[in-house]
Amino acid sequence: MTGGYVYSVCEHYTIYDVAELIKNAAKLRLNDGYNFKRNKNEGKPERKPMAKRLSKAKQKELAHEFAIRLNKYFPQARCALDYDGDPFKLAIAVLLSAQTTDKGVNKVTPLLWERYPDAHALANADFAEVEQIIKPIGFYHVKALNIINCARLIDEKFGGKVPQTHEELQSLPGIGRKSANVILNEAFGISEGIAVDTHIFRIAHRLGLSDANDALATEKDLLKVFEKEYWGNINRQGVLFGRETCIARSPKCGTCFFADLCPSKR
Ligand code: SF4
């Protein structure tokens, strides 16, 4: 996000407000995978960093089997954000989802879409009204800024259509590599990466598929071991698996479908 975009919308803010907005924007970007730091409770392999001891061939074998089983257990996995099949709504919902739940986002977006159904409408939105609509999900100042500025860029630079390349998507305010991966995959069926959020990061380390310290390096590792045909599903299925079974604090290894192969099984 450039300073120019921040200031263009918040002319009525004091310098202190702007500083707070920038600070909050930085916090929100932590949620976009490629800037987040390892939390002491999440993502850490509970035992040994198995990736160092697994050969690439073994990692590929594990990844292949994991992808097959994910398909079996989560055949209907879908994006938890409601977006009516509209890439613009998805992009905005993804922006709103930083530091909150998808459920929470789904509660505020119906009114947002009713008032501002497309990029042009949101680009010209009433800032205070947008803040009020999205207030329940938190960080509403900076999120309102981000979504209005994002809509403005999409409207002015991309003719109202969400762009379909990593580079262009990441030129939009608040969108980093993880969000771009989600949008490309969900909205356009383009799999050029694997969105590494906190669940995928944790699972990748527990399975010994990566020992990288950050999400970008973890994604690079995963792209080397998963066959491309599985890239698109890894995030949406892995998130369900991470929420239901391979939970951060207490993984349910006793009922896990991958326990027979997992190097971190407890
Ligand atoms: S056995 Fe399953 S739940 Fe337990 S750590 Fe491994 S993948 Fe996670």
Q: Provide the token pair at 164.
A: 């379909």
Sequence-distant (≥ 6) Cβ neighbours of residue 61 within 8 angstroms: none
38, part of any domain: no
Please state, in angstroms and rounded to a whole number, the distance separating the CA atoms of residues 22 and 26.
Answer: 6
Position 13 in a domain: yes
pLDDT, one tens digit per residue, over 88-97 is 999 999 999 9
143 domain residue, yes or no = yes
> Which residues, judged by CB distance below 6 Å to any ligand atom, belong to the binding site of ligand 1?
206, 245-246, 251-253, 256, 258-259, 262, 264-265
Taking the C-alpha atoms of residue 112 and residue 133, their distance in angstroms, rounded to an integer, is 7
Residues constituting the chain: 266
Q: Are residues 17 and 125 in the same domain?
A: yes
Tell me the best of 206, 255, 261 to mutate to test the pocket of ligand 1, counting ligand atoms within 8 Å of each CB and taking the most. 206
Residue 150 has pLDDT above 70, yes or no: yes
Interatomic CA distance for residues 156 and 138, integer angstroms: 28
Is 11 inside any structural domain? yes
- Exposure letters 52-88 (e unless 16+ CB within 10 A, then b): eebeeeebbebbeebbebbeeebeebebbbbbeeebb
20 contacts: CB under 8 Å, gap ≥ 6: 141
Same domain, 63 and 125: no
Contact (Cβ atoms closer than 8 angstroms) between residue 233 and residue 70: yes
176 shares a domain with 91: yes
- Residue 196 CA, chain-centre distance (Å), reads 7
- Mean pLDDT of the region 96-111: 95
Which of 159, 188, 217 is where one domain is finished?
Answer: 188
- Please answer whether residues 205 and 43 qualify as being in contact, where contact means their C-beta atoms are separated by less than 8 angstroms: yes
What is d(CA 19, CA 33) in angstroms, rounded to the nearest whole number? 23
Cβ 173 vs Cβ 181: under 8 Å? no
> Are both 181 and 91 inside the same structural domain?
yes
In a domain, 243, yes or no: yes
pLDDT at 25: 60
Q: Note whether 14 and 110 are same-domain residues.
A: yes
Tell me the percentage of the chain whose pLDDT exceeds 90. Answer: 77
CATH (domain of 140): 1.10.340.30
* Same-domain status, 158 and 179: yes
71-81 residue pLDDT tens? 999 998 999 99
Using the mean position of ligand 1's atoms as its centre, give its distance from the Cα of residue 34 in Å: 24
- From the number of C-beta atoms within 10 Å of its C-beta (0-12, 13-18, 19+), residue 227 rates as exposed
Q: 């986002």: which residue's tokens?
A: 105
Angle at 149 between CA 165 and CA 180, to 5 degrees: 25
Co-location of 102 and 223 in the same domain: no
Q: Do 176 and 226 lie in a common domain? A: no
Q: How far is the CA of 238 from the centre of ligand 1 (A)?
A: 12
178, 211, 220, 224: which is the annotated catalytic residue? 178
Residue at 144 is within a domain = yes
Task: Give yes or no: residues 132 and 104 share one domain.
Answer: yes
On whether both 170 and 225 belong to a single domain, the answer is no
Binning pLDDT at 50, 70 and 90, where does residue 120 land? very high
- Structural domain tally of the chain? 2
pLDDT band with cut points at 50, 70 and 90 for residue 46: very low
Cα-to-centroid distance, 206 and ligand 1 (Å): 7
25 and 129 share one domain? yes
Q: Which of 188, 213, 234 is the last residue of a domain?
A: 188
* Same domain? 74 vs 148: no
Tracing tokens 């939009």 back to the chain, one arrives at: 172
**Over 51-107, what HEC string results?**
HHCCCHHHHHHHHHHHHHHHHHHCCCCCCCCCCCCCHHHHHHHHHHCCCCCHHHHHH
Domain range for 156 is 3-33+80-188
The atom of ligand 1 lying closest to the CA of 256 is: 2
- Last-in-domain residue among 141, 166, 188: 188
